[in-house]
């Protein structure tokens, strides 16, 4: 039997039109997920996913529930056709969809949490203007050293936020410090170093002021122990209990996304295939570079969902193709 891991994308994978072809192919998704999501949040989330505009969809407080909604709908299609993950993981925001897949969190509760998470994270930028930047072509240790040097020279915050793969690191912090880091990275030989179009300095110590309010929301939410292993990108280790999940989601706001280690752990568990569940195909590319011996398949549109179903149907007789 094929061992399949599901990975779920984070912010940056959104696009206008995401999920639209899923609902066209499987119309019941509209009443199962999309219309209830609109009612729960009091937002026209379905219309924003379908039609945009892109500027509104890029708002952190909109992006996060929109990506989660699309990921959960895609998850439903895969599981109804017999694809069951042996383990799951998510990149930042994607960890919430992974918890839904593992039976830890009801999708409605996950939707409420990521809506609040997005609002709180965006609010940080109103207090302390910040940004994020991607550095490509330098190893993690070098980027960590550059961050330390900029912090010392500027007295401002700049930290590694995402260890995405062996030669791709994302930094986060105060705007001036991140700009200085970009200059330093280019001088150090980075293939590319550029600011990212995101709404706040995610996964940095600048997020600490919103931890308390978000933790209160976590404590009001029902979590269950994982039914399948969840490899947390905060620790690159399995989450084993509901209590551990709550603590990890709290730490995730300020903590680094350890994606290279997470995918390495997935591969080390004997995984035969990775399926990226949700919009975009960023994680599929990262997974292929981190673990080239493990095929990775995106599901960002119906054609790729069908391809994944057909591929897995040939490898596992418990899976039925469309």
Q: Which residues make beta-bridge pairs with 135? A: 169, 193
Q: Are the beta carbons of 22 and 104 closer than 8 angstroms?
A: no
Question: Distance (Å, rounded) from C-alpha 224 to C-alpha 202?
Answer: 27
The upper half-sphere exposure of residue 41, i.e. CA atoms within 13 Å in the direction of its Cβ, equals 30
Question: Distance (Å, rounded) from C-alpha 25 to C-alpha 11?
Answer: 25
Question: Distance (Å, rounded) from C-alpha 152 to C-alpha 101?
Answer: 43
Question: Distance (Å, rounded) from C-alpha 217 to C-alpha 202?
Answer: 19
Residue matched to tokens 């490899």: 231
Contacts of 316 (CB under 8 A, 6+ apart): 1, 2, 82
Catalytic residue (choose from 81, 91, 203, 297) = 203
Task: Give the relative orientation of helices 60-80 and 302-315 as an angle to the nearest 10 degrees.
Answer: 40
Task: Give the relative orientation of helices 107-127 and 60-80 as an angle to the nearest 10 degrees.
Answer: 160
Q: Are the beta carbons of 85 and 193 closer than 8 angstroms?
A: no
Residue 320 known to be catalytic: no
296-298 and 87-90 as β-strands: parallel, antiparallel, unpaired?
A: unpaired
Residue 204 known to be catalytic: no
Q: Which residue numbers are catalytic?
A: 92, 203
């Amino acid at each position: 039997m094929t061992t399949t891991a599901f990975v779920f994308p984070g912010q940056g994978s959104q696009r206008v039109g995401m999920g639209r072809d899923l609902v066209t192919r499987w119309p019941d998704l509209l009443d199962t997920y999309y219309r209830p999501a609109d009612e729960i949040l009091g937002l026209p989330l379905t219309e924003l996913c379908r039609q945009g505009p892109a500027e509104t969809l890029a708002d952190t407080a909109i992006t996060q529930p929109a990506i989660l909604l699309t990921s959960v709908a895609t998850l439903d299609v895969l599981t109804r056709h017999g694809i069951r993950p042996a383990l799951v993981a998510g990149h930042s925001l994607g960890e919430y969809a992974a918890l839904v897949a593992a039976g830890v969190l009801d999708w409605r509760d996950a939707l409420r949490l990521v809506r609040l998470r997005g609002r709180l994270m965006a609010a940080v930028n109103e207090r302390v203007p910040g940004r994020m930047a991607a550095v490509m072509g330098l190893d993690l240790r070098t980027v960590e050293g550059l961050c330390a040097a900029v912090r010392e020279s500027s007295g401002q915050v700049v930290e590694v936020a995402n260890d995405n793969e062996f030669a791709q690191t994302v930094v986060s912090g105060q705007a001036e410090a991140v700009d200085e880091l970009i200059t330093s990275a280019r001088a150090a030989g980075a293939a590319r170093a550029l600011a990212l179009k995101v709404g706040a300095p995610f996964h940095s110590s600048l997020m600490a002021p919103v931890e308390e309010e978000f933790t209160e929301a976590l404590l009001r939410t029902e979590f269950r122990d994982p039914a399948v292993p969840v490899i947390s990108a905060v620790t690159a280790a399995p989450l084993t209990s509901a209590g551990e999940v709550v603590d990890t989601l709290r730490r995730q706001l300020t903590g680094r996304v350890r994606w290279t280690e997470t995918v390495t752990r997935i591969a080390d568990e004997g995984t035969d295939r990775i399926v990226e569940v949700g919009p975009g195909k960023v994680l599929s590319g990262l997974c292929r570079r981190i673990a080239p011996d493990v095929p990775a398949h995106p599901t960002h549109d119906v054609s790729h969902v069908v391809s994944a179903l057909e591929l897995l149907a040939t490898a596992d007789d418990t899976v039925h193709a469309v």
